[in-house]
Structure 1
Amino acid sequence: KNRYAEIERKHATAEEQLSTTSAERDALLQDKLALQSNISGKESAAAELERKLVDVAAQLANSARQLQQTQAELRGANKR
Protein backbone atom coordinates (compact mmCIF):
# COMPACT_ATOMS: atom_id res chain seq x y z
CA LYS A 1 0.00 0.00 0.00
CA ASN A 2 2.84 2.38 0.86
CA ARG A 3 4.55 1.56 -2.46
CA TYR A 4 1.30 2.24 -4.33
CA ALA A 5 1.00 5.67 -2.66
CA GLU A 6 4.59 6.47 -3.65
CA ILE A 7 3.89 5.50 -7.27
CA GLU A 8 0.73 7.64 -7.30
CA ARG A 9 2.70 10.59 -5.90
CA LYS A 10 5.38 10.19 -8.57
CA HIS A 11 2.68 9.94 -11.21
CA ALA A 12 1.01 13.14 -9.99
CA THR A 13 4.37 14.93 -9.92
CA ALA A 14 5.15 13.75 -13.46
CA GLU A 15 1.74 14.94 -14.71
CA GLU A 16 2.29 18.33 -13.06
CA GLN A 17 5.74 18.65 -14.65
CA LEU A 18 4.30 17.65 -18.01
CA SER A 19 1.58 20.26 -17.71
CA THR A 20 4.08 22.96 -16.72
CA THR A 21 6.46 22.01 -19.51
CA SER A 22 3.62 21.99 -22.05
CA ALA A 23 2.54 25.46 -20.95
CA GLU A 24 6.13 26.71 -21.24
CA ARG A 25 6.40 25.16 -24.70
CA ASP A 26 3.16 26.83 -25.80
CA ALA A 27 4.38 30.20 -24.51
CA LEU A 28 7.69 29.78 -26.33
CA LEU A 29 5.88 28.85 -29.54
CA GLN A 30 3.79 32.00 -29.26
CA ASP A 31 6.95 34.06 -28.71
CA LYS A 32 8.54 32.38 -31.72
CA LEU A 33 5.53 33.17 -33.92
CA ALA A 34 5.54 36.79 -32.75
CA LEU A 35 9.26 37.11 -33.51
CA GLN A 36 8.83 35.50 -36.93
CA SER A 37 6.02 37.92 -37.72
CA ASN A 38 8.13 40.85 -36.56
CA ILE A 39 11.08 39.69 -38.67
CA SER A 40 8.83 39.19 -41.68
CA GLY A 41 7.45 42.71 -41.30
CA LYS A 42 10.93 44.17 -41.02
CA GLU A 43 12.11 42.20 -44.05
CA SER A 44 9.16 43.55 -46.04
CA ALA A 45 9.95 47.10 -44.93
CA ALA A 46 13.62 46.62 -45.85
CA ALA A 47 12.66 45.30 -49.29
CA GLU A 48 10.38 48.30 -49.83
CA LEU A 49 13.17 50.69 -48.84
CA GLU A 50 15.51 48.91 -51.22
CA ARG A 51 13.00 49.31 -54.08
CA LYS A 52 12.67 53.01 -53.27
CA LEU A 53 16.46 53.41 -53.22
CA VAL A 54 16.71 51.77 -56.64
CA ASP A 55 14.02 54.15 -57.97
CA VAL A 56 15.76 57.20 -56.49
CA ALA A 57 19.11 56.08 -57.90
CA ALA A 58 17.53 55.73 -61.35
CA GLN A 59 15.96 59.18 -61.04
CA LEU A 60 19.31 60.67 -59.99
CA ALA A 61 21.07 59.05 -62.94
CA ASN A 62 18.38 60.39 -65.29
CA SER A 63 18.66 63.87 -63.79
CA ALA A 64 22.45 63.78 -64.14
CA ARG A 65 22.13 62.82 -67.83
CA GLN A 66 19.63 65.63 -68.42
CA LEU A 67 21.93 68.10 -66.67
CA GLN A 68 24.92 67.02 -68.77
CA GLN A 69 22.83 67.29 -71.93
CA THR A 70 21.63 70.77 -70.99
CA GLN A 71 25.18 71.88 -70.14
CA ALA A 72 26.39 70.59 -73.51
CA GLU A 73 23.59 72.49 -75.27
CA LEU A 74 24.51 75.67 -73.37
CA ARG A 75 28.17 75.31 -74.32
CA GLY A 76 27.13 74.78 -77.93
CA ALA A 77 24.89 77.85 -77.85
CA ASN A 78 27.65 79.99 -76.31
CA LYS A 79 30.07 79.04 -79.09
CA ARG A 80 27.73 80.33 -81.78
Structure 2
Amino acid sequence: MSTWETAFHFDSLVWDWIIAIYLFLAGMSAGSALIAIYLKRKVIEGDPAQNGIMKAMAWLAPFGIIVGLLILVFHLTKPLEFWKS
Protein backbone atom coordinates (compact mmCIF):
# COMPACT_ATOMS: atom_id res chain seq x y z
CA MET A 1 0.00 0.00 0.00
CA SER A 2 1.14 3.50 -0.71
CA THR A 3 1.47 6.22 1.90
CA TRP A 4 -1.81 7.76 0.73
CA GLU A 5 -3.72 4.50 1.25
CA THR A 6 -2.21 3.73 4.66
CA ALA A 7 -2.97 7.23 5.96
CA PHE A 8 -6.64 6.30 6.26
CA HIS A 9 -6.31 2.67 7.36
CA PHE A 10 -5.21 2.21 10.94
CA ASP A 11 -6.49 0.33 14.01
CA SER A 12 -7.96 3.29 15.88
CA LEU A 13 -10.06 4.45 12.92
CA VAL A 14 -13.64 4.61 14.15
CA TRP A 15 -15.36 6.17 11.13
CA ASP A 16 -16.12 4.17 8.05
CA TRP A 17 -17.24 5.26 4.59
CA ILE A 18 -20.92 5.65 5.50
CA ILE A 19 -20.05 8.51 7.86
CA ALA A 20 -18.35 10.29 4.96
CA ILE A 21 -21.61 10.06 3.01
CA TYR A 22 -23.56 11.45 5.97
CA LEU A 23 -21.15 14.36 6.33
CA PHE A 24 -21.30 15.04 2.59
CA LEU A 25 -25.10 15.16 2.68
CA ALA A 26 -25.07 17.48 5.69
CA GLY A 27 -22.62 19.82 3.94
CA MET A 28 -24.63 19.72 0.73
CA SER A 29 -27.78 20.65 2.63
CA ALA A 30 -26.13 23.50 4.49
CA GLY A 31 -24.51 24.78 1.31
CA SER A 32 -27.75 24.72 -0.64
CA ALA A 33 -29.55 26.57 2.15
CA LEU A 34 -26.85 29.26 2.22
CA ILE A 35 -26.89 29.61 -1.57
CA ALA A 36 -30.69 29.90 -1.55
CA ILE A 37 -30.58 32.62 1.10
CA TYR A 38 -27.93 34.54 -0.84
CA LEU A 39 -29.81 34.24 -4.12
CA LYS A 40 -33.08 35.35 -2.54
CA ARG A 41 -31.52 38.43 -0.93
CA LYS A 42 -29.05 39.57 -3.60
CA VAL A 43 -29.71 38.03 -7.02
CA ILE A 44 -33.31 37.02 -7.74
CA GLU A 45 -35.71 39.76 -8.67
CA GLY A 46 -39.45 39.29 -8.39
CA ASP A 47 -41.08 36.33 -6.69
CA PRO A 48 -38.40 33.86 -5.52
CA ALA A 49 -41.03 31.10 -5.20
CA GLN A 50 -41.33 31.01 -9.01
CA ASN A 51 -37.57 30.54 -9.55
CA GLY A 52 -36.44 27.03 -10.48
CA ILE A 53 -33.17 27.24 -8.57
CA MET A 54 -35.01 28.24 -5.40
CA LYS A 55 -37.43 25.34 -5.83
CA ALA A 56 -34.52 22.94 -6.25
CA MET A 57 -32.78 24.30 -3.16
CA ALA A 58 -36.01 24.04 -1.16
CA TRP A 59 -36.09 20.30 -1.92
CA LEU A 60 -32.37 19.64 -1.76
CA ALA A 61 -31.64 21.04 1.70
CA PRO A 62 -34.21 19.04 3.71
CA PHE A 63 -33.76 15.92 1.56
CA GLY A 64 -30.03 15.78 2.30
CA ILE A 65 -30.54 16.21 6.03
CA ILE A 66 -33.34 13.61 6.20
CA VAL A 67 -31.41 10.99 4.23
CA GLY A 68 -28.21 11.73 6.15
CA LEU A 69 -29.91 11.37 9.51
CA LEU A 70 -31.58 8.12 8.43
CA ILE A 71 -28.18 6.79 7.37
CA LEU A 72 -26.72 7.85 10.70
CA VAL A 73 -29.50 6.26 12.76
CA PHE A 74 -29.45 2.96 10.87
CA HIS A 75 -25.67 2.85 11.10
CA LEU A 76 -25.94 2.55 14.88
CA THR A 77 -25.66 -0.80 16.66
CA LYS A 78 -29.30 -0.70 17.80
CA PRO A 79 -31.02 1.68 15.36
CA LEU A 80 -34.52 1.28 16.80
CA GLU A 81 -33.31 2.16 20.30
CA PHE A 82 -31.21 5.26 19.50
CA TRP A 83 -33.57 7.55 21.39
CA LYS A 84 -33.17 5.71 24.72
CA SER A 85 -29.61 6.77 25.53
Same fold (TM over 0.5): no
As a proportion of its length, which structure holds more helix? 1
Q: TM-score, normalised by structure 1?
A: 0.35
Scaled by the length of structure 2, the TM-score of the pair is 0.33
Computing the radius of gyration from Cα coordinates, the structure with the larger value is: 1
